[in-house]
Structure 1
């Protein structure tokens, strides 16, 4: 094995889009570079994330990745599992040999070969956990979290995610640190409309998937309009490959509900702020537990009230904000009722939007987040990382 390359962090990520964990990765890389690290990011394929990374002076390369999908754990997926796992091990081994980094940062638990291969090559490893699979079967959770046993340090995005992980392997909590996600706000904020005339404009930003409950917003919109409230809905996001059937079902629901003129599908958007500026209320209707709620925080940063499902991560992300309203998960009726109450209380809600925005800026400051991640990486790197250890405050807390 070659000697470690001083000041190099090899960062690994399973995709190249610009959704939640992708943007958090960008914040991690930015923080590392600002603390003086050379950063090489390994991705499986090109995508919009690449330009954002290179703009921050990160080096980007592509290598085969083994991304653990639940379908691969079924008997019919075992062949693909073995094939892609072998390719992933070869890709990881080659990247580690080429760069001989002083530390590896693995972003998400879905690329499990990296902590194992790094351990074999004696490279210190940090894993950043964005997942909180609380509803998975116990054996599956243990499979998902077992590779973390090979990591020296673990960053977790919420207390909820930490609790789910520790439920599988209690020993992982001792090497873990919760660091709240960085969520950059808009450069300028468009003030909310003083009156919701003719009706509220709803917005959803994120993946179009059954887990995210996008169809629930459509059903809630139908209920609002049936009640005489001329609300509209803008959807910003696209389906994950393989879920095209859900988009077809969503379009069918919109058509059958006579909402074609009230719902606009914009597809994936790189810049979320114009859409949030055009909205009155942001809705995050996830059916299942979310490890955190970046889009809910983005709504607060845009000075808009948000309606969120009362799942653990979303509840944690919006705790303490007077302009965030929780509803039972999976209920279109509850979503419609919450939107109607916000519209009826609009004058009382408006004064609280700016204080909530100021608090969100403080909690999710990108600079503080970047320093916190860089601190963990530097500590994991040992003597080599001493020169990159920041003494400034960071928005983080020990597990």
Structure 2
């Protein structure tokens, strides 16, 4: 009986989890890391994040995690000089699990971890956030003891290209916070402030395009789609939320030139990087997902659906999986801009019946991730 009680106590013991990623500026990986850290703290666990820093660090610390600034961001052989300092850091942290989320830090962590005492070192987990190019550099993500895939298409990619046994992979969709993404996020006060800043949005059906300004995200196709949509109805206004990646301001300039060439200067507004994406979903009539290649997950799809806003997306990749699960009528054939505009037009006035499964929420992601940790630690 005492042994059973000790096992139960060990299973319930709070864990110390270290997540490692290049930086904490913006993006889905970064947001996912911060959200999981917050949920770990809420669950009574100790959360540590190692990165080179960024604008999300203050919020991470305010929510109860510890942040350690460490040069894990460089894709360079010079990063190998960080292996010994990383090993000392991991030994001092005495964590239960180290969870790597990107290739450059994964190399530093793995090289440090493999020289640690197997009896006392933490367990090593990696999350495949993308369908990485198949080469020696990317293969480090498959060297962890257990792998998490964020979608079925990513899981299939891992098994096909890295020959990893399925028993070492767990499918866990990236979860969203229902306290942030819901029908009530778009408040009258928020709308009033936004309309003061952008009066052109008032009394319009907002067609939302969230995401970093980068060529594969599909902003060019979005502008082409808006050009066709505005021919069908003039009561729409496009809103692009997101900024250009460092060193790629020229792409934003290209988009502005394209907007002008299509005669959309008064029809599409770029609002730049925003930390208040949730109310934008609530404001929108339709959210667009137009990546020109299969995206590993596409978190804007479940975020919008959780906010009660229909999504139109190309039928491919992880975005297709979540849209199939919650709002399949939003799917259109890949790269069909004409069909995309027609579907947006049809859905603006339609009654949306959205049912997003529970496994797309943070509570499910946390429970599933903790289950991975505890199984590795032999506590299940």
TM-score for the superposition, normalised by structure 2:
0.83
Q: Quick check: 1:380 aligned with 2:373?
A: no
1:1-399 equivalences in 2 (<5 Å): 7-48=15-56, 50-68=57-75, 81-83=76-78, 85-90=79-84, 92-113=86-107, 114-121=109-116, 122=118, 123=121, 124-133=123-132, 140-185=133-178, 186=180, 189=183, 200-322=205-327, 324-343=329-348, 346=349, 349-350=350-351, 352-353=352-353, 356=354, 359-360=355-356, 362-382=358-378, 386=379
Moved over 6 A (4+): none
- The alpha-carbon deviation at position 288 of structure 1 amounts to 0.7
Cα distance in 2 for partners of 1:27, 1:191 equals 17
Instruction: Classify 1:150/1:335 alpha carbon distance in 2 versus 1 (closer, same or farther; 3 Å).
Output: same
Cα distance in 2 for partners of 1:20, 1:290 equals 12
Residues 127-173 of structure 1 show CA distances to partners (whole Å, capped at 9, x for unaligned) of 1111124xxxxxx4133542134311111111110111111222243
Say if 1:154 and 1:175, in contact at 8 Å, map to a contact too: yes
Question: Paired residues, what number?
Answer: 346
Say if 1:145 and 1:165, in contact at 8 Å, map to a contact too: no
TM-score for the superposition, normalised by structure 1:
0.79
Cα distance in 1 for partners of 2:177, 2:44 equals 21
Cα distance in 1 for partners of 2:293, 2:182 equals 33
Cα distance in 2 for partners of 1:284, 1:161 equals 18
Say if 2:83 and 2:111, in contact at 8 Å, map to a contact too: no
2:164 is paired with a residue of what secondary structure?
A: helix
Instruction: Classify 1:171/1:251 alpha carbon distance in 2 versus 1 (closer, same or farther; 3 Å).
Output: same
- The alpha-carbon deviation at position 94 of structure 1 amounts to 4.2
- The alpha-carbon deviation at position 46 of structure 1 amounts to 2.6
Residues 16-74 of structure 1 show CA distances to partners (whole Å, capped at 9, x for unaligned) of 134322222123223433444322110112322x2332233111110001454xxxxxx
Cα distance in 1 for partners of 2:77, 2:181 equals 47
Superposition RMSD in Å: 2.5
Say if 2:358 and 2:364, in contact at 8 Å, map to a contact too: no
Q: Which of structures 1 and 2 has the larger relative contact order (alpha carbons within 8 angstroms, sep 6+)?
A: 1
- The alpha-carbon deviation at position 219 of structure 1 amounts to 1.2
Gaps of 5+ in 1: 1-5, 69-80, 134-139, 390-399
Say if 1:27 and 1:370, in contact at 8 Å, map to a contact too: no
Say if 1:109 and 1:128, in contact at 8 Å, map to a contact too: no
Instruction: Classify 1:208/1:87 alpha carbon distance in 2 versus 1 (closer, same or farther; 3 Å).
Output: farther
Partner residue, 2:193: none
